[in-house]
Amino acid sequence: MKTKNLLKATVATLVAGAMGLAGVGSAMAADTRVDESKLGDGAAARQTLTVAANGDISNRTLKAVPLAYYSYAQTDGTNITGFDLIDAGKASAIADALTKANIDTKSKKDQTAGYDYNASNPMVWVVQNLLDSENSPWAGKLRDFIDQLKNEAAVTGDKGTAFAKGADAKHMTASVRPGVYAVVDATKTGQASIVMFNGTGIDGKTTLKNGAKTYTLGTVDYKVHNAEVTKGITVVEDGDTDEKITSRDKEAPQAGEEYAVAKTSIGKKVSFKMTSKVPVWTGYDHYYYALNDTYTNGLTFNADSVNVTVNGKALTADKDYKVTPDGGKFHILFAPTADGSSDIIAAKTTFPVGAEVLVTYTMTVNKNAHVDGVDTNTSEVEYSHNPNTVTDHEKTPGDTTYVYVGKFTLTKTDTNNAPLAGAMFNIKDTKSNIVKFVKVNDNEYRVADSTEAATASADITTTDKNNGVITLKGMYGAYTVTETKSPFDGSILPEFTLTVGVAQSKDHNTSTSSLTAFGQDSNKLASKTSDDGVTVINARNIADMPKTGAVWLSIFGVMTVLLAGASALLLRRKA
């Protein structure tokens, strides 16, 4: 039966697929009424309702639940130009959903068209007045209504019409009586769509014309979403940050992606950032959202350094988010719940859809830093992707950052290049702080981290008499090296400067150290003898010093003058 007031030509659009519904006012001369046989439940009337997706949905469980049927329609021969509706047995559920969505059908504030609400046929009012949810993130009164309606027993208990595979894996179709439908994705495992909503075509016509505007009926978009997170390095304590975007070659781990590299030393802190956006939680009753981070054992996560902002507003730890360290991993749960999960819908004013999320924190390079290798820090975002199963989460990998430390070798020899044991050195950084080391073995020292302060020493000793070489690991940047004790007492003790650099390989998995700068001592007892090595010659006295260099020549010149003067004085005395 046709309703008393034919609907005015207008359009209602929904979250789940831009859906146009229009009624007719007075028929134009060119418009003709669609035969009633094309509007009932007979085979000649049935229309195809299509769900279209960007990916494979062939294994999804979809059903079309009728909310109202077309009772009248008119056409200009090509387009649908108007229609009217009758209830499909969901009037009570629709009324209840409108109330729960806080939509007032009796006042003018929620009414955009001039038709009064009819409790026996409420979809007429819905399609004429709830027109505010056309675009992503699909929020608005119409979405609020649909989100309440999907939980009504009349909808959940209706088997509806099942969808089958369509033209390809990205489409599913159902043959239904012409009308207005909620399309429900009942898939329990994996990704699933939020509830969708659309009207079918009529008599094979799927274009709805409303004045100068046209709309497509019969097709609904599959409504799913993904989330992203990116990783960067903001500050390296006394180190270098190399952050850029590049079209790297196929050997690179993240071709074309942003990546960040830190070059530093053991004991220093590296500041990181993770950026994300609040996912589209529209259509969900509960929504899980977390950022996860995995890092290698050369890095120590400083949990107390975490700061989080959403749209620039600082969040409160343990209330708005919770940090959970987990041995080589840590998790940041947003809107934590009492059961250890997350639900940002419960705090949706704090987490509006699409809001910018920024997480900053620091990590300390520790004693396990991978010299000649790399320490990595990789992020991911974890989020809900199935409104039917709150515990079913998707994880999308983010970026990886790379942290490198360097090394150099120190060789002690006599003037004949024979190795010497027992020389002692100390090293200062650019702030004149003495660097403390832990002895690993006779040939190796490593920069101490904060946990080793009590056992660390500023003294480095060359103890291997066979080659006199020691390797100092965990270093980066500029240093001053001073010999504090020679293998022979009373020897000349040189002081020189050097800069330790480190370069990563193409695949970022290994690194190579080198001395990017070197400053000799005044007596030229120290010299750079390899890419990452310095040799220090032991001189017992001036006669043992290398016979090169302006300083030695000046000393030798002074000695010559003094000796000449002494000879002249002796001759005078003899005379």
Residue with tokens 């010659």: 537
- Which pLDDT value is given to residue 258? 55
φ, ψ dihedrals at 142, nearest 5° = -65, -45
Inter-residue contact 211 to 9 (CB < 8 Å)? yes
pLDDT interval class at 26 (50, 70, 90): very low
- Which pLDDT value is given to residue 140? 84
Region 120-132: mean pLDDT is 86
Inter-residue contact 511 to 406 (CB < 8 Å)? yes
What is the gyration radius of the CA atoms in the chain, in angstroms?
Answer: 38
pLDDT interval class at 382 (50, 70, 90): very high
Residues 6 or more apart from 377 whose CB is under 8 A from it? Answer: 231, 272, 293, 294, 295, 296, 299, 363, 400, 401, 403
405: number of CA atoms within 13 Å, CB side? 27
Helix (H) or strand (E) holding 568: helix 550-574
Q: What is the torsion angle, in degrees rounded to the nearest 10, for the CA atoms of residue 321, residue 325, residue 330 and residue 336?
A: -20
Q: Distance between CA atoms of 503 and 405, rounded to whole angstroms?
A: 9
Distance of CA 204 to the CA centre of its chain: 46
pLDDT higher than threshold 60 for residue 496: yes
Q: Distance between CA atoms of 324 and 423, rounded to whole angstroms?
A: 48
Region 446-468: mean pLDDT is 83
pLDDT interval class at 172 (50, 70, 90): very high
- Domain 229-402 and domain 404-549, same fold? Reply is yes
Q: Distance between CA atoms of 138 and 541, rounded to whole angstroms?
A: 85
Q: Which range scores top for mean pLDDT: 12-16, 88-92, 249-253, 410-414?
A: 88-92
Pairing label, strands 321-325, 240-245: unpaired
pLDDT digit string (tens) for 303-317?
999 999 999 999 999
Q: Which of the two residues, 388 and 246, has the higher pLDDT score?
A: 388
Q: Which of the two residues, 175 and 133, has the higher pLDDT score?
A: 175
Which pairs count as long-range contacts for 186-189, CB under 8 Å and 24+ apart, including other chains?
186/61, 186/62, 186/63, 186/388, 187/59, 187/60, 187/61, 187/62, 187/386, 187/388, 188/61, 188/386, 188/388, 188/389, 188/392, 189/386, 189/389, 189/392
Rounded to two decimals, the pTM is 0.84
- Which pLDDT value is given to residue 540? 63
Inter-residue contact 268 to 239 (CB < 8 Å)? yes
Q: How many CB atoms lie within 10 A of CB 343?
A: 23
Residue with tokens 């695949």: 507
pLDDT digit string (tens) for 315-360?
999 999 999 999 899 999 999 999 999 999 999 999 999 999 999 9
Q: Distance between CA atoms of 520 and 503, rounded to whole angstroms?
A: 24
Q: Say how many residues make up the chain.
A: 575
Q: What is the mean pLDDT of the chain?
A: 86
Region 403-429: mean pLDDT is 93
Region 28-56: mean pLDDT is 91
Q: Distance between CA atoms of 232 and 359, rounded to whole angstroms?
A: 10
Here the tokens at position 512 are: 């190579």
Q: Which of the two residues, 132 and 524, has the higher pLDDT score?
A: 524
- Which pLDDT value is given to residue 370? 97
84 - beta bridge partners? 72
Which residue, 452, 443, 246, 445, is CA-closest to 366?
Answer: 452
pLDDT higher than threshold 80 for residue 566: no
Q: How many CB atoms lie within 10 A of CB 457?
A: 14
Least confident of 326-330, 413-417, 558-562: 558-562
Burial status of residue 566 (CB atoms within 10 A of its CB: 0-12, 13-18, 19 or more)? exposed
Q: Which of 1.10.10.60, 3.40.50.1820, 3.40.50.150, 2.60.40.10 is the CATH number of 404-549?
A: 2.60.40.10
* Portion of the chain with pLDDT greater than 90, in percent: 68
Q: For the chain, what are the domain ranges? A: 32-221, 229-402, 404-549, 550-575
Least confident of 120-134, 145-159, 213-227: 120-134
pLDDT interval class at 543 (50, 70, 90): low
- Which pLDDT value is given to residue 113? 62
φ, ψ dihedrals at 151, nearest 5° = -95, 0
pLDDT digit string (tens) for 353-375?
999 999 999 999 999 999 999 99
Pairing label, strands 460-461, 375-384: unpaired
Tell me, letter by letter, the H, E, C secondary structure of 11-67.
CCCECCECCCCCCCCCCCCCCEECCHHHCCCCCCCCEEEEEECCCCCCCCCEEEEEE
pLDDT higher than threshold 80 for residue 558: no
Q: Distance between CA atoms of 76 and 78, rounded to whole angstroms?
A: 6
Q: Distance between CA atoms of 408 and 197, rounded to whole angstroms?
A: 67
* Portion of the chain with pLDDT greater than 70, in percent: 83
pLDDT higher than threshold 80 for residue 454: no
CATH code of the region 229-402: 2.60.40.740
